[in-house]
Each structure stands twice: as C-alpha cells, then as structure tokens.
Amino acid sequence: MLAMLGLCVAQAQITIRKGGSAKAGIDWSRLVASGAGPTEFKRVLEDDLLRSGWFVPSAPGAEFTLIGTAQDSGQLAAQIQLSSASQQRWLLSKQYTVASGAARSLAHRVADDILTAIGRKGMFSGHIAMLGTRSGAKELYVCDMDGGNLQQITNDRNICLAPRWAPDGQRITYTAFLKRYPDVYLVDLVSHSRRVIASYGGVNSGGAISPDGSLVALTLSKDGSPNLYVRALNGGTPVRLTSEPRAAIASPSWSPDGSQLVYTSDQASTAHPQLYVISRSGGTPRRLTTSGSQNVSPNWGANGLIAYASLQGKFQICVVDPNTRESRMISPGDAANYEDPCWAPDGRHIVCSRTVNYHSSIYLLDTLGDPPVAFGQLSGDWYSPSVTAK
Amino acid sequence: MQSKRWMMFLAVGLVAAVAMGSGCKKATKTGPNDGDIGGIKGGGINDVNIGNRPPEGTQEERGQFGSVYFEYDSAQVKESERAKVESVAQNLKKSTAGGIIVEGHCDERGSAEYNLALGERRAMAVRAYLQTLGVDAARIQTKSFGKEKPVALGHDEESWGKNRRAEFVLFK
C-alpha cells in the first residue's frame, strides 16, 4: 500500500529530462474519440500538447489528467475536462461544438485552452507564413503551427522574399518583383486581395507593420542609399529614421510597445551587418551586437527579447536582451545554417529555417532547452517563416 | 601652417560638392569612408532623389556591357573593374536619350533582405561612378535583386564570385 502511494507521488512529480525542459506528465487515455473527424481532433490535440514542450504523455496517476469525448453527428462536438493531481477542482471543463470540417482548428483551440488552464501561454491558434518552391518559383504559403493545413497564397512565378504578418493575423506584407522592381505588397487573406504599399525609386523592402497597425517600417533607397523609414500604412510621406550614406540597412522589427525598432546595418563594416536599435522618432541608434561576423534578421518578440541570426561559422539563432545586451545561442550549433527566426506566440519557441546541403526546411527551436523539432508534414524546401502575433 | 589649413578646407569642400551631385541642400555626414569620390571607394550619395523608373513597356536591352564584379565584403567598384563602367559612360554620353538600369546582385550566403540592400549598395556604387564620369543621374536607375537571381548555381567560391555583380540594362 505504501509502495503504491510512493509510486503515485513519484508520477505526480515533474519529470526533468536530460538536456530538455521540465515537463509535467499528462494522462489522456480517457479522452475518447469516435469517427474520422473526432479521431483527427484527438491526434492533432495530443501532437500540439507534446509540441508545446510542457507535457510528457504519462500513465494514470500523472500530474494532469485529460478526460472527455469527441463525436460527430452532423457537427463535431467535444467535451473536455482537465484535472490536476494537486487541485480539487477542474482546471478546464468545457463543451465545444464546431462544423464537421473544423477538427484541426478545434484541436488547436483546445490545446491553447489547456495551456492557459495550467498557467502557460499557447501558440496553436497562430499561423506561419513562408515561402516554398513546390511549384517551381518561390511562392507565399500559410500553414498551422504544426505545419498542417498548408495553403498556397500566391502563384506569380516571380521573385519574392521576406513575408511578414500584420499584427491582426489576417494580412501579410512581402517584397515582390511583380512590376519588375522590388516593391512591398500587402496581401489581405480575408478579402483575397493584394495591393502595393511601397513602390518608390530604388529598393523597397521591410514592410514591418507597427503593433498598433497604423504604421509601416520600410527599407527604402529612394534618397540615395538604403535607409530605415516609417510611414503611415495607408500612405503619406515616409519619414527617414537613419541617415547612413553608405550602408546596407534592412529588416526592421518593432518593439512590443511600438516605441523602437531593431534593424540590421553594415555601416561599421561592409558585409558585416550588426543589430541596432533606434527610437521610432529617429535619433542616434544604439548598437546591440558585437560578436559574430554578421548579425541579421532580427525579430522583436512580445516577451521583449530579440531573436536574430548570427554568423559564427554557420548561421545560428541567438536571443539578445536589448536592455542588457546579453545574448545566448538557442540553435544547437550543429553543421546547419539556422536563419530567419520569428518568435512563436507562446514567447518560448522560435520558428526558423534550417538549411543543410542547401536544402531548407522550417524548424521549431526552444528557448528552454528542448531539441529542435522539424515540421515533418512539410516536404520540399521552405524559407523565411513569419509567425502571427497570437 | 596657414597654407596647409587652407588646402585641407579646399579638399573637404571639393568632396562635399561632388557628393551633393544633383543639388541637395543638406551636407553628408562624416563617416569612416569620408573623402571618397563617387563609387570608386563605395561612396554613397545622400539626400538625392534617385529619380523615376523607366515606364512599363520601355524597350530594354541586355548584354551590351560586361558585368562589374565585387569582392565579398565590398560594395565598391574595384580598380580592375573601372574600365567596364567607363565604357558604359562613354556609350551613354553619345546621346542624351534613354538611360541605363544598374542591377545589383549578391551571392547566396546570408539573409535575403540584407542581401537586397547590399545589392542596391553595389548598384549605387556603380551609379555614383557613372555620375562622376559625367552621366546625368536622372538617366541611371538602380535595381537590386539581392541573392534572388544568381547566374552561377554552384555552392563554391567560383560561383559566388560570378554572382556578386552589377549588370547593365540599356533602355530607350
């Protein structure tokens, strides 16, 4: 009797994995699904819970127990209850009803609800925008946070780069050569429309929309050299923030409160760009990085930290605290190039590209130490991921 | 002593006048490469409107001139490449009609967006040199392709060197 009690207590404890993050056991053996749609729902939900990094599947007696049913008799209905070994109440007890075809999105919603219930932030209601070459040329695609539900957005057979989600998660900016010059476009996924938002002389790129949705940061060379500009999203006169006469400046990203921008610039040494932070009103920029021969592609997360790619032999993904300038490497330092990082909505994971032998795929990195995870559902080459804010 | 200071003042004035090119009002700020003349030392031109793109449907011609090649960590027209730019200038000065698009390119390594800006810097260095050779700025457009349009598809220094280039496209 005592031995059994001891066993139960042991299983209720957090499992510490060597080289990975702390995880809690979750028993989902009593989540019952019948029929194709409900089974898909259960599979995607379990996948998401594992992908979150907070759980490890466990036997009965685990710290968390997930029970419920999912069935479809015209609509997909799920009853979900989550309990904790240490608390006397349900952490989550909810009924969901959605259209039969919405099994995936329901699973993502329930995964996020479960994470919220245990005091963590989820990421599964987010989406990834990225470029893929399945059809020959690079085109814009969108998928779920697990790589599923892949949708092709453009079919231009033209050159394009650097997609970025707008904060509303419904529009995407990117740079494309539709008029045979590099211009910035805004795609609206809801109205299925696209319009040009920057087509000045010279190069137009960046297209980073501010957190409140009103402004767009752009790299423009219209005044003689690529510099950082800010303009109202819907038009008006761009205001130049930087004044470098001979630098290659690129990749603006807004701070969470919209008061500053981080960007990359090789003003100190050509082809050796470093990260700088500048106020959205301009002024003297503050340099953030010193080590690494190239520091590029910064992405300022809602958590206040900046993810970026740093050339240290190969490209690695690093995270820097803009206040202390302390940085650390997040990618594993193996023989691959990790580039184009973007924070996931959970503020813990980073989506990036991983290139080996010149083949590029999308990976999920973990700032709490779990090994990188491939987006297994996506075959072929994928580049430049951008993740929605929520 | 007096005359030395006078000569320094003259030299600075000369550089500032060249840098201001087509009549901007603000002075360029001093930087690590101050004293550059045109694109030979990678000089940029600030506060200058770079003009309009040739309209859609304008007739374009490629292959008239050889590409200008760049070192890995450079957006400057090196000495061995100057003659190519000079022959473009000579051709353009034969008439006042039409102009040229300078396309800037990078090798495949590194961030797509940073390379788009670096390719533009290379195109602008060539443009600046063309201006110092007497070509009107309004006739020269820059267009960067970053690393998106390589001519050599190998993953080695030989291919990378061929891709770090500026190409010339004449238009009427």
Chain B residues in contact with A297 by the CB 8 A cut-off are 111, 113-114
Contact check, Cβ <8 Å, A224/B72: no
In chain A, what are the domain boundaries?
A: 22-117, 127-387
Instruction: Using CB atoms, pick whichever of B50, B56, B119 lies closest to residue A201.
Output: B50
Residue A162 is predicted with a pLDDT of 98
**Which residues on adjacent β-strands are paired with residue A188?**
A171, A193
Residue B89 is predicted with a pLDDT of 97
Whole-angstrom CA distances from B153 to A40, A354, A358, A359, B156 are 42, 20, 11, 14, 9
Classify domain A22-117 by CATH number.
3.40.50.10070
ipTM value: 0.93
pLDDT at residue B168 is higher than 80: yes
Residue B56 is predicted with a pLDDT of 86
Question: A263 in contact with B at a CB cutoff of 8 Å?
Answer: no
Nearest CA in chain B to A359: B155
How many beta-carbon contacts under 8 Å exist across A and B?
A: 152
Whole-angstrom CA distances from A64 to A38, A359, B166 are 22, 40, 61
pLDDT, averaged across chain A? 94
Residues 105-164 of chain B with CB under 8 A from chain A are 110-114, 116-121, 124, 141-146, 148-149, 155
SS3 B159: helix
Question: A17 in contact with B at a CB cutoff of 8 Å?
Answer: no
Nearest CA in chain A to B19: A245
Angle between helices A103-117 and A36-51 in degrees, nearest 10:
40
List the structure tokens of A69. 């049913």
Residue B21 is predicted with a pLDDT of 35
Contact check, Cβ <8 Å, B114/A205: no
Q: What's the first-to-final CA gap in chain A, in angstroms? A: 47
Residue A130 is predicted with a pLDDT of 98
Candidates A164, A220, A270: best to mutate against B (most CBs of B within 10 A) is A270
Residue B76 is predicted with a pLDDT of 95
The CA distance from A93 to A71, in Å, is 17
* pLDDT tens by residue, A105-130: 999 999 999 999 999 999 999 999 99
Residue type, A362: I
pLDDT interval class at A315 (50, 70, 90): very high
How crowded is residue A346: how many other Cβ atoms within 10 Å of its Cβ?
A: 21
Contact B42, B76 (CB under 8 A): yes
Q: Smallest Cα–Cα separation from A305: which of A362, A248, A359, A344? A: A344
Contact A160, A139 (CB under 8 A): yes
How many Cα atoms within 13 Å fall on the side-chain side of residue B122? 33
CATH numbers and ranges of domains, chain B: 3-171 (3.30.1330.60)
* pLDDT tens by residue, A15-66: 554 568 999 999 999 999 999 999 999 999 999 999 999 999 999 999 999 9
A181 φ, ψ to 5°?
A: -135, 155
Residue type, A124: F
Q: How far is B1 from chain A (nearest CA, A)?
A: 32
List the structure tokens of A101. 């075809």
Whole-angstrom CA distances from A289 to A266, A268, A323, A350, B45 are 12, 12, 12, 19, 27
Chain B residues in contact with A251 by the CB 8 A cut-off are 111, 113-114
Question: B31 in contact with A at a CB cutoff of 8 Å?
Answer: yes
Contact check, Cβ <8 Å, B110/A296: yes
Residue A19 is predicted with a pLDDT of 65
Contact B105, B153 (CB under 8 A): no
Contact check, Cβ <8 Å, A226/B117: yes
* pLDDT tens by residue, B47-103: 566 778 998 889 999 999 999 999 999 999 999 999 999 999 999 999 989 999 999
Residues 6+ apart with CB under 8 A from B156: none
Chain B residues in contact with A162 by the CB 8 A cut-off are 112-113, 116
Helix (H) or strand (E) holding A3: helix A2-12
pLDDT at residue A244 is higher than 60: yes
Instruction: Using CB atoms, pick whichever of A159, A224, A266 lies closest to residue B145.
Output: A159
Residues 6+ apart with CB under 8 A from B84: B65, B66, B67, B68
Candidates B26, B76, B116: best to mutate against A (most CBs of A within 10 A) is B116
Contact check, Cβ <8 Å, A162/B52: no
Residue A99 is predicted with a pLDDT of 97
Classify domain A127-387 by CATH number.
2.120.10.30
Residues 6+ apart with CB under 8 A from A92: A80, A81, A82, A113, A114, A117
Helix (H) or strand (E) holding B166: strand B165-171
Torsion of Cα atoms, A243 then A244 then A245 then A248, to 10°: -130
pLDDT at residue B25 is higher than 70: no
Residue B15 is predicted with a pLDDT of 37
pLDDT at residue B42 is higher than 70: no
